[in-house]
A and B are shown apart, each in its own frame.
Chain A
Amino acid sequence: MTDEEQSYSVFNSQALIDTVGDSASAGLEASRIKKFISVLGGRFFNWGQRKSLFPLHLGIKCCALEMAAAGGSRFDAERFGVFFRSSPRQCDVLIVNGPISKKFADPIVRLWEQMPEPKWCIAMGECAISGGPYYQSYNILEGVDTIIPVDVYIPGCPPRPEALIDGFQHLRKKIMRIGTTPSTTRDDDAPIIVGDQ
C-alpha cells in the first residue's frame, strides 16, 4: 500500500485482513490451539481424501473390463466411495490398466500432469507393472513406472474385481500413512504390492 492511496478509513480491507489475521494467528499459537486445529484438520482432510477416491475413466485394455465390473452391481465399488470421473481435473487416482505403448506415453503423462495434487497412481494388471506378456514388444514400455510414479501395484492378468477393491484398501492405508506429500517428493521405497501381505 503506497502512501498516496492511504485512506483514513478503519475499514480499509487489506489492512483489516492483515491485522485480524496476524493477531488471530498469534493468539492461536500462544494458546497452542493452532497446532491442535492443524492436526485435527489434517486428519479430517486425510479421512476425506481416502474415503472418496475418484479414479479417472481410463480404460486401456482388458483390466478395464474388470474395472468396469468392479463398478457394476456385483462387486459394487461405489459403496467404498469410489466414483469414476471423466475429466482428469476432477480425479485423485489414475488407474493404469493396460500396456503403455510409445504412442500413448505422451498422453498418459499429460493426463497425470493434468490431475491436481494430491494424486496417486495404481498400476493394475501385468501390462502396467512390467509390460506383461508383451515385454518383448517393440512398441510397449516395460511398465508404467518408467514414466509415472506408482503407489500400488495390483498383479494379475486380469486381477479380479475383488483384487482391485483390495488395492483401493491398501491405497487407503498408504494415504493414512503418508498424508498429502506431493507425488514428486514421495519416497518410492514402499510401493505396495497387493497380495504380499
Chain B
Amino acid sequence: MKIKAEYAEESAQQVVDAAETRWSGTSLHAEVRHHKSGMKRPYVFINCPKNHWRSVAKWLRFEMSVDHCSMITGTHWPEGPDEKKWEIVAHLMRMNVINPPERGGWTEQVIRDPAILQNDDVPMEFEISISIPDTRRPSVPSVQEVWMGADWNEKETWDLVGIEFDGHEGMRRVLLPHDTPVGYHPLQREHKIRYHDAEIMYDDMQGFGRKPADDGKVK
C-alpha cells in the first residue's frame, strides 16, 4: 500500500508551477527535488526571500492545504556568502487526509487505499529555505498564526540560535534555564563546547596510527 509515484510527481510539479507563476517577479525559486537515498517520493524545495515568507506561508496553508508545520530551525553561517549569513529552514507537510476523496460518488472516510490519492490530496513534504543577510540582528517574520506548530519551534530556534521572529507573542526560553543571560544563544558559531581543543587520542578509526607521545602505552 503506497502512494503512486506518478501521482506524487505530478502533484509536486503542480505545486512548483503554481509557486513560480504566482511569485514570478521575485527571487523566489521552487523546484522538485528527490532524496538521494531512503525516501522514494519527491519533495518541493522553495527558496523564499525574507519579506515574502508570511505570504508564502499563508498561500501554502490556505490554497495548497499544507496543514502541518513539522520543524522550523535555523543555522548560523558566519563564513557563508553575504546574503546567507543566517538561514531559516522550515519543513512543512501536507497531510491532507482529513478531507476524504470521492470515488464513484462515495467518500472514503478513512483512506484505506492510498493509491487513489491524486493532485492536491497527495501527502507532500516541503522544505523552505530563507536566507538572511543581516549579521547584527537576524530576524524573520513569524508564522505563528498560520500554523500553531510553528509557535514552539520558533521559541526553540530563538532560544538556541538567536534568530528573532517579528510578531511572535510570548517569546521565552524553552530549553535553556530561564535565568540564562540575555543574548546567550549556544548554537552560534562563536560559542564552543567545553574542552573543544582537547586532542582526541585516536583519530583513526582502527587505531593503527599511533602518535609518538603514545609510545609504550597500552591502548
**Do A and B form a real pair?**
yes
A positions within 8 Å CB-CB of B: 101-103, 135-139
Check if A139 sits within 8 Å of B195, measured CB to CB: no
Check if B191 sits within 8 Å of A138, measured CB to CB: yes
In-complex Cβ contact of B177 among A103, A135, A136, A137 (8 A): A103
Interface residues on B, range: under 10
Check if A102 sits within 8 Å of B177, measured CB to CB: yes
Question: 6 other contacts beyond A103-B177, A136-B193, A137-B194, with CB at 8 A cut-off?
Answer: A103-B176, A103-B178, A136-B194, A137-B193, A138-B186, A139-B186
In-complex Cβ contact of B195 among A102, A103, A136 (8 A): A136
Q: Give min CB distance, A101 to chain B, whole Å.
A: 8
Compute how far the CA of A137 lies from the CA of B187 in the bound complex, rounded to whole angstroms: 11
For window 146-191 of chain B, which residues contact chain A by CB distance below 8 Å?
176-178, 186, 191
B103, CB-defined interface residue at 8 Å: no
Compute how far the CA of A103 lies from the CA of B174 in the bound complex, rounded to whole angstroms: 11
B positions within 8 Å CB-CB of A: 176-178, 186, 191, 193-196
Pairs A-B, 6 closest by C-beta atoms: A103-B177, A136-B193, A136-B194, A138-B186, A136-B195, A102-B177
State the main secondary structure of chain A at its contact with B: loop
A142 nearest in chain B by CB position: B194
Q: Give min CB distance, B42 to chain A, whole Å.
A: 37
Please name all residues of chain A whose beta carbon is closer than 8 Å to the beta carbon of B178 when the two chains form the complex.
Answer: 103
Compute how far the CA of A102 lies from the CA of B194 in the bound complex, rounded to whole angstroms: 15
Q: Give min CB distance, A18 to chain B, whole Å.
A: 54
Compute how far the CA of A138 lies from the CA of B191 in the bound complex, rounded to whole angstroms: 9
Check if B194 sits within 8 Å of A135, measured CB to CB: yes
Contacts A102-B177, A103-B177 given; indicate if A136 touches B191 (C-beta within 8 A).
no
Compute how far the CA of A139 lies from the CA of B175 in the bound complex, rounded to whole angstroms: 10
Compute how far the CA of A139 lies from the CA of B179 in the bound complex, rounded to whole angstroms: 13
Check if B177 sits within 8 Å of A138, measured CB to CB: no
Compute how far the CA of A137 lies from the CA of B160 in the bound complex, rounded to whole angstroms: 13
Please name all residues of chain A whose beta carbon is closer than 8 Å to the beta carbon of B194 when the two chains form the complex.
Answer: 135-138
Q: Give min CB distance, A22 to chain B, whole Å.
A: 56
Compute how far the CA of A102 lies from the CA of B195 in the bound complex, rounded to whole angstroms: 18
Q: Give min CB distance, A143 to chain B, whole Å.
A: 13
Q: Give min CB distance, A142 to chain B, whole Å.
A: 8
Compute how far the CA of A137 lies from the CA of B177 in the bound complex, rounded to whole angstroms: 14
Compute how far the CA of A103 lies from the CA of B175 in the bound complex, rounded to whole angstroms: 9
Contacts A102-B177, A103-B177 given; indicate if A135 touches B195 (C-beta within 8 A).
yes
A140 nearest in chain B by CB position: B194
Q: Give min CB distance, B106 to chain A, whole Å.
A: 47
In-complex Cβ contact of B196 among A101, A102, A136 (8 A): A136
